[in-house]
Amino acid sequence: MTARRNLSDLLADLEEAVDAAREIVELGRARWENERPLRLAGEAVIGRIGDVASKLPDELLSETPEVPWDDVCGMRIVVDHVYHAVDYNIVWETLRDDIPNLGMAVDGWLERHPEVSPPSKP
């Protein structure tokens, strides 16, 4: 059995996924459209974020109402279990628009909670 991860570890995982989303978007829409591995990577990023979100403490979720956490967790279900129905336009928009906003919301929460250890940079 795997031990539960602490908040700092979860936030590090979240930060890594937010960074990966940014890197995918920086490659551009044309590459996204033409390279299946990028689309699959985008699904994986969304899956990772949804998984982490399902483990975050209620305090963080309730204090970041600008993030639709239920949708974040729900999108993980879609990309992981209903993958045959994934709309890659929505995935792209999520990577480009929603994930950066999620990252900023969590960064803001960390600024308001200096007692929480921020994720360490590799």
**Inter-CA distances, 23 with 20, 70, 90, 93, 98, Å:** 5, 25, 17, 14, 14
b/e sequence 51-71, b meaning 16+ C-beta within 10 Å: bbbeebeeebbeebeebebee
- The catalytic position among 5, 29, 36, 81 is 81
- By CB neighbour count within 10 A (0-12 exposed, 13-18 middle, 19+ buried), where does 114 fall? exposed
pLDDT band at 2 (very low <50, low <70, confident <90, very high): low
Which one of the listed residues 5, 29, 76, 112 is annotated catalytic? 76
pLDDT above 80 (res 120) = no
- pLDDT tens digits, 93-115: 999 999 999 999 999 999 999 88
Give the model's confidence band at 33: pLDDT under 50 very low, under 70 low, under 90 confident, else very high.
very high
Residue 76: active-site member? yes
Q: Would you say residue 100 lies in a domain?
A: yes
Averaged pLDDT score across all residues of the chain: 91
Is the pLDDT at 65 greater than 80? The verdict is: yes
Structural domain of residue 60, as residue ranges?
7-111
Domain contains 122: no
Does the active-site annotation cover 81? yes
Q: Residue 118 falls within a domain, yes or no?
A: no
